Structure 1
Amino acid sequence: MSTPGHGNGATGSPAGQGLRLTPFRGLRYVPERVGSLSAVTSPPYDVVVRPDGLRHLETADPHNIVRLILPQAATAADRHRQAAETLRRWQEENVLAADPEPALYVYEQRGDGILQRGLIGALRLTPREEGVVLPHEDVMPHIIEDRAALMRDTGANLEPLLFSYRGNGNGTEGAAGVIEQVIRTEPLLSTLTDDGYAHRLWAITDPHDLDTVDKDLSHQRALIADGHHRWATYLRLRAEQPAPGPWDYGLVLLVDTARYPLRVRAIHRLLHRLPVAEALAGLGGAFRVRTLDGPLPDALDALAEASAVPGGNAFVLAGDGRFHLLDRPDPDLLARTIPGDRPQAWRELDATVLHSTLLEHVWQVPDAPEHIGYIHETAAAVQQAELHGGTAVLMHPVHEDVVRELAEQGVTMPRKSTSFGPKPATGLVLRSLALD
């Protein structure tokens, strides 16, 4: 793998000790071999709503990327072997083909009032103690195990992680200047996905442009916006290698949020084995409870209003055909159940109160996949709870500044506390480690 030169000076990190984003030979769909680029893309693996969303993607095109990121078979080992075989076959059949030379890729998404541009490349992996890549959420070991087996068997990074960094806001210099120049040229691909987002991709191969990007990013550090489990997987797989090589890098999308702010949404909880009636009965006087009239949008408005109160923790419970707003938690209960050795911003997080107070203490719900699910879309969370007799806990999003503040202190939030977006579409560019 070729690595551009280091820069000098310091802003976010000392020069040469910051982000190192390196070119790679992207593996991309050959348009003539698939129905359409839109039909072969997918949301990230953990956003696909299963089983309906999975089935929709599988039937959209026989070569949809979901067959690689979420292969279906009887056992985990069979799933991972199947994905590896599918990836090998698609390359042999020229469904997927490698670009002729290593490149960084400019990626653009536009839709729903958002314009996002960033750089896709192979990022040098750094341990947490170096402070170059800042995680902000805890992770679940069983997910890392699954993703590691999939990456190990396929020998590929199948989808880019979403990272954010803060540039200087100047669109004429550094990486931002390179991006602004490149987007004036003809893109490698352009497609419109079912969610209404338009996607475009360009390759950066000019040595001068690559050096400019490298010097700029060598001063920067990044927040993991989306992909904590895959980042932890990258680090695990690198630790397994006996010598330096392609596993020292992982596929990411870097977005300068000084120019292109991300949208932060909540991730909702689905309590599979706790019916709403039991959840409400178990509260006692722990929270004020109000049953709301009206549809889901009205319930979310009420949640936002309750969450806007300084220090106010609020949730909406759903699953019994109605919506129940929980707010004004008992301060004494919070003091007894929330660890006091963390920053105040962490202790006041809705996710902290949910996990430390409600799930662990009040409802005594075990922290295991068979008990707690995580769903990004509010309507889907409500639907699943109603279908299966569980409880959906709808959350209000946390502000990005709080996330970054805690990450810079080395403090992680409860797992699945945030959903940054828009997330990159999976399937536009892959990284095969065999090509590096």
Structure 2
Amino acid sequence: PPQWSIQTEGGDRHTVWSLTHETIFRELGGVLAASRLYVADGHHRYETALNFRDKMRLEHPEAPPDAAFNFVLMLLVDVQDAGLLILPTHRYVHDLEGFDAVAFLSKLAKRGHVTRQNDRAALLRAIQEPVESHRIGLAYSNPSPSGGGQGGGLVYFTVDLPPRPTSDPASELDVSRLHRDILQGALGLTEAALEDERFVGYSRDLDAVLERVASGTAQAAFLLRPPAVSDVVAVASAGQVMPQKSTICRTN
């Protein structure tokens, strides 16, 4: 029987069994010995755990091999498991001095193909369509006096950025193109501002991001499609790290 089972506020069920037989450990070790391990979510926590382990080993050289600091909790999932999901983390910008939505849209049109979407539902359908381009959703408050925007005064667009041939898999992710071509290229934000989350916010909650724009606490929202598991594998296999806030893993 399981040791314990809980359900989170988000509706996820977590069940834990305790394995104590050495035979099981050896069998699992044999199965995983030839496998490659990708840290898809939480690499900062993993690196911190390694640093903490090294620190504790120096301070406690007499500690046994089974000391708690020699271990870290992980969820291991086969990358080909259909239940493995990667969720997108959306972006919004705020407090940009002199932000002009019309001028911003004109800059985007020089970098890719911009398409007006009728409403929120049309935008969500469009960003879920399979396309070869880097498709990013955009929403901002309607600047026109007529207030002709949909959904609480918001206007919606998709921005299709053309793919570029490269041997660098991380540079051609949707999120990388958003940062490089739009947030830095069109809006002029620096890489430091993105890393420090100045003028930029991040959220997995699409509705909350759009609500921020509708309420005026954000100036524009950028909606992303989730990266494919194969994207994460390609980036890690190239010895790179996924961009900031781009991999939120869940199991279905």
Q: Distance in 2 between matches of 1:261 and 1:381?
A: 26
Say which of 24, 28, 52 aligns to 1:237.
52
Describe the superposition over 1:148-183 as per-residue Cα deviations: whole angstroms up to 9, x where unpaired.
xxxxxxxxxxxxxxxxxxxxxxxxxxxxxxxxxxxx
How far apart, CA to CA, are the structure 2 residues paired with 1:246 and 1:189? 21
Per the TM alignment, residue 319 of structure 1 is displaced from its structure 2 partner at its CA by 4.1
- The answer as to whether partners of 2:117 and 2:158 remain within 8 angstroms in 1 is no
Query: Aligned equivalents of 1:188 and 1:246: distance in 2?
Result: 19
Higher relative contact order (CA closer than 8 Å, sequence separation 6+)? 2
CA distance in 1, matches of 2:98, 2:29: 52
Name the aligned partner's letter for residue 272 of structure 1: H
Q: Distance in 1 between matches of 2:245 and 2:179?
A: 11
Aligned to 2:17: 202
Structure 2 distance, partners of 1:232, 1:279, is 40
Report the CA distance shift for 1:317/1:274 in structure 2 as closer, same or farther (over 3 A).
farther
CA distance in 1, matches of 2:140, 2:104: 16
In the alignment, which residue of structure 1 is the partner of 2:27?
A: 212
* Distance verdict in 2 for CA 1:350–1:382, change over 3 Å: same
1:211 shift after superposition? 2.0
2:39 alignment partner, SS class: strand
**For the Cα contact (< 8 Å) 1:316–1:325, is it kept in 2?**
yes
Segments of structure 2 that go 5 or more residues without pairing to the other structure are 62-66, 142-152
Length, aligned pairs only: 226
1:382 matched to which residue of 2?
210
Aligned mates of 2:174, 2:240 — CA distance in 1:
15
In structure 2, do the counterparts of structure 1 residues 319 and 325 end up closer, same or farther at CA, with 3 Å as the change threshold? Answer: closer
From 310, 318, 324, the equivalent of 2:139 is 318
Rounded to whole Å, the distance in 1 between the matches of 2:119 and 2:15 is: 40
Does structure 2 conserve the Cα–Cα contact (< 8 Å) formed by 1:271 and 1:373?
Answer: yes
Q: For 1:292, which of 117, 128, 132 is the aligned residue?
A: 117
Q: Which residue is equivalent to 1:328?
A: 160
TM alignment of 1:110-259, pairs within 5 A: 186-241=1-56, 242-243=58-59, 246-259=68-81
d(CA) in 2 for partners of 1:280, 1:239: 53
Is 1:408 matched with 2:240? no
The answer on 1:418 being equivalent to 2:238 is no
Aligned partners of 1:361, 1:400: CA distance in 2, in Å?
Answer: 27
Structure 2 CA distance for partners of 1:198 and 1:247, relative to 1, 3 Å? closer
Deviation (angstroms), 1:421: 0.8
- Matches of 1:294 and 1:421, distance apart in 2: 29
**Alpha-carbon distance between aligned partners in 1 of 2:138 and 2:95, rounded to the nearest angstrom:** 14
Matched with 1:347 is 171
The one-letter code sitting in structure 2 at the alignment partner of 1:353 is: R
TM-score by length of 2: 0.77
Name the aligned partner's letter for residue 226 of structure 2: P
Residue 116 (structure 2) pairs with residue 301 (structure 1): no
RMSD of equivalent CA atoms: 2.8
Q: CA 1:379–1:190 in structure 2 vs 1: closer, same or farther (change >3 Å)?
A: same
* C-alpha displacement of 1:276: 11
Structure 2 Cα separation of the partners of residues 211 and 260 of structure 1: 27
The 8 Å contact of residues 91 and 223 in structure 2, kept in 1 or not, is answered as yes
What SS does structure 1 have at the residue aligned with 2:75? strand
Per-residue CA deviation, residues 280-337 of structure 1 (Å, 9 max, x unaligned), is 5224222333332223x431111122xx222x012112242424223233x6xx87xx
Please list every run of 5 or more consecutive structure 1 residues that lacks an aligned counterpart in the other structure. 1-185, 424-436
